[in-house]
Amino acid sequence: MSTSSDNDMRPKVILITGCSYGGIGEALTMQLYRMGHRVFATMRSLSESAVFMPHQTDANVPSLTWLPLDVTDEESIKKCVANLTSMNGGRLDILINNAGIGYSAPLLDADMAQAKKVFDVNYFGVLAVTQAFAPMLIESKGRVVNISSIAEFSPVPWLGVYNSSKAALGMFSDTLRLELQPFGVKVINVLTGGIKSNMNDNNVKAAIGPESFYYPNKTEIERIIRGEVSLKHQTSRELFAAKVAKHILSKNPSAQLLAGEKSTSMWLLSKVGGTIWGLFLPRMFGLKNLKPNVEETMARRDEKEELVRAAAGEPFVPLPHIDPDSSLSWSSEPDSTM
């Protein structure tokens, strides 16, 4: 049996998810294609693939094929496997799980439907696609490359749902690596830092409404959510793609790759310990200057809930609001009864 490790110099067959125009999937597609590999680039809507054509010397070259794939749709995944099998005899050397979405919102304000969608794409989509293509990768002794983020270990405020999905992906990579080791399949986790791409434009960004506990600092927090701070420090997609391609194609790649602006520095900070984040992240992300007014916020929340219930013909009984200075509030004094 011919394997990826047996013939390190031959062109590889690579499938990449999430290759929409302007993202890092596009950059990885073009980098690996130009290096002479057989690339299957996937996206939910193939109509976007036409935008790539000016980047190619020949739009009809057989080394680059576009396939439709929605990582959250079981039937779409099955069709992609069938397409790859019919076009390439079922050979696959490298699977790059790149598809992902972002969501910016305080955790207390997060929309549950949107939060679940983030996990459907960023975690469960990766799991489903990996399961579907695993037989091909085991046959070739290939590689699984998961495009994660430094968000998986840095608790950046207002990105809690996204951070959590990437933390889950990081553990997925570590566990999958052990489970695929007996079959000779390598798993590489790419910890992505700041990359100049269209991801921020495509992210869902929550507005800080009057019912939010963070409403007093609405202007500053929404400025941060829009990316006006993070977008100042980014690596080009082309440099990122070149670094990733070199690493995943090397004979003995390490299990983890740091790539992108501030990826190394943030990783080093994470090794200091959890308390380090509390020293500078609150100042950077609008929490240091937050002056909450809990009483006013609770009144606005009650007002909104009363309107909702009135529209539904239901009675509304507001919950009692506890005075922070009362004996019922949390106290730092030890409980003498314990």
- Residues with active-site annotation: 162, 166
Closest by Cα among 273, 190, 285 to 235: 190
One-character DSSP codes across 132-180: HHHHHHHHHT-EEEEEEEGGGT---TTBHHHHHHHHHHHHHHHHHHHHH
Helices (H) and strands (E) counted in the chain, each on its own, are: 11, 11
Contacts of 146 (CB under 8 A, 6+ apart): 97, 126, 169, 172, 173, 187, 188, 189, 190
H or E segment to which residue 266 belongs: helix 263-270
Contacts of 318 (CB under 8 A, 6+ apart): 302, 305, 306
Rounded to a whole number of angstroms, the CA Rg of the chain reads: 24
Helix 160-180 × helix 125-140 angle, to 10°: 20
Contacts of 308 (CB under 8 A, 6+ apart): none
